[in-house]
Amino acid sequence: MSALYTVLGTLVAIGVLVTFHEFGHFWVARRCGVRVLRFSVGFGTPLLRWHDRHGTEFAIAAIPLGGYVKMLDEREGDVPADQLGQSFNRKSVGQRIAIVAAGPVANFLLAIFFFWILGMLGSQQARPVIGAVEVGSLAEQAGLRAGEEILAVDGEATPGWGAVNLQLVKRLGESGSIEMLVRDEESSTETLRRIELDAWLRGAADPDPLASLGLRRWFVQAPPLVHEVRKDSAAQLGGVQKGDRLLSLGGEQLESPEAVVAVARSFAGQRVELRYLRGEQELSAVLQIPADPKVVERLGYLGAVVAYDPLPPYMLREVSYGPLEAVGEGLRRTWSMSVLTLDSLRKMLLGELSVKNLSGPITIAKVAGASAQSGIGDFLNFLAILSISLGVLNLLPIPVLDGGHLLFYLIEWVRGRPLSERVQTWGVQIGISLVIGVMILALANDLGRL
């Protein structure tokens, strides 16, 4: 079933985002009097095609990895004399800039729309209450304590843990201080704490901001609950069933889902005793812990999917907006994610963030499937973030991308004449090399994660 969600989620995501991006180019081109020859979603052999009254061919092609809008252009072939006025290259610099910029702008508008819907639908978020602070950690040095609720990070309100993580991700690779406004649950006193950073997680391939600071979320103090048992795994052979609670493995207490994974990994290839609770009855079994076949390192694999108990109602917060408020929330979130995307790219170029954080088509497909399976809210949020990424990346001043064309047209506007064909050709060749290099790197990262 998860494979089906992955396929359908990926196709829907690509279809929606690419169609809307290309429709931006198409709509503005039509308004500027440019004749559009073809509007294609996908590349390669058309699976479905039709024409409108203007003679534009619309196609859905076999390779769903993008799309394009083909316009009448003298640089790509002969244009009849009576159609020269409808040629893209004959339009003013301002019109050409508008047509090219319309694709990324459409992606930003789509993200605002999705965030607007999400704002009105509302969400139930876990209050960001600190469950524990590690001894000697950055959080402890700043004076943070268990039981305090994080109200804001660097001046931005944090109604849930998602907002806390987003604010922390913005500071990756930096030095300075993170300001956290916290409230003590017992006294209701609000206090500003400062966490001092020094090249914080610079170059980390898989950063975990909360763990790095020494913070743990509040959770129900109960042994982790088994939600699923993998077929033919050590857990299944030991008799573990859905609904059991794991107590210990090899004599080490299992107090959280993270502990289950960590402890199991340390016992690769060993026979150890697993103790677990079924109802009121405590059971035990001696298991042979195999090495996880998905990783190169010899790490133990128990095969039990575990999670925290559901949070009590008083630890949850409903966050929703009215129709007008949701517009502002959509604009704010779109701007914030756009800035974060650009800043992350800057940090990668400067070495403050590892390039291993780049994701390619495999990771995108996995996240698409997981978010689709999780529900409409999570899937819309994924589409909004991916649409922003598509918009930002397309605006980068790299020839072959929309941003590269905009750069050429801006230079033409300043100079009063376009760059020579030779210079533009060089630019395109460099741009293609850069794009292919980044795609190979992202794909290599995806394969590494597998």
Predicted pLDDT of residue 297: 57
Question: Where a domain ends, among 284, 310, 336?
Answer: 310
For residue 381, give the nearest of 152, 21, 389 by alpha carbon. Answer: 389
In terms of domains, do 146 and 204 share one?
yes
In terms of domains, do 279 and 214 share one?
no
Q: Residue 1 pLDDT > 90, yes or no?
A: no
In terms of domains, do 233 and 304 share one?
yes
For residue 118, give the nearest of 365, 382, 388, 372 by alpha carbon. Answer: 382
Q: Residue 296 pLDDT > 60, yes or no?
A: no
> Is 82 a domain residue?
no
> Is 449 a domain residue?
no
CATH number for 306:
2.30.42.10
Contact predicate 18/41, CB 8 Å: yes
In terms of domains, do 160 and 215 share one?
yes
> Is 244 a domain residue?
yes
Contact predicate 321/119, CB 8 Å: yes
> Is 442 a domain residue?
no
For residue 167, give the nearest of 143, 150, 184, 183 by alpha carbon. Answer: 150
Question: How confident is the model over 15-29, as pLDDT tens digits?
Answer: 899 999 999 999 999
**What residue has token string 């918009």?**
391
The two tokens of residue 355 are 């390039």
Q: How confident is the model at residue 356 (pLDDT cuts 50, 70, 90)?
A: confident
Other Cβ atoms less than 10 A from the Cβ of 425: the count is 12
**Orientation of helix 2-31 relative to helix 361-374, angle to 10°:** 110
68 vs 103: CA distance, rounded Å: 10
The mean pLDDT value for 51-63 works out to 91
Half-sphere exposure of 126 (CA within 13 A, CB side): 17
Q: How confident is the model at residue 450 (pLDDT cuts 50, 70, 90)?
A: low
For residue 433, give the nearest of 404, 409, 398 by alpha carbon. Answer: 398
Q: How confident is the model at residue 197 (pLDDT cuts 50, 70, 90)?
A: very high
Question: How confident is the model over 87-122, as pLDDT tens digits?
Answer: 999 999 999 999 999 999 999 999 999 999 999 999
The mean pLDDT value for 300-323 works out to 89
Number of folded domains that form the chain? 2
Hey, which residues are catalytic here? 22
> Is 61 a domain residue?
no
In terms of domains, do 174 and 249 share one?
no
Helix, strand, coil shares, percent, the chain, to 5 = 45, 25, 30
> Is 139 a domain residue?
yes
Q: What angle do CA 123, 220, 266 make, to 5 degrees?
A: 110
> Is 271 a domain residue?
yes
Using CA atoms, how far residue 97 sits from 160, 380, 395, in Å, is 40, 30, 12
The mean pLDDT value for 127-145 works out to 94
Question: Where a domain ends, among 295, 310, 325?
Answer: 310
Contact predicate 119/325, CB 8 Å: yes
Question: Where a domain ends, among 275, 290, 310?
Answer: 310
> Is 423 a domain residue?
no
Predicted pLDDT of residue 439: 87
- The residues with which 283 forms a beta bridge, in sequence order, are 276
For residue 257, give the nearest of 310, 309, 311, 306 by alpha carbon. Answer: 306
The alpha carbons of the chain give a radius of gyration, in whole angstroms, of 26
- What is the residue range of 168's domain? 130-219
In terms of domains, do 279 and 210 share one?
no
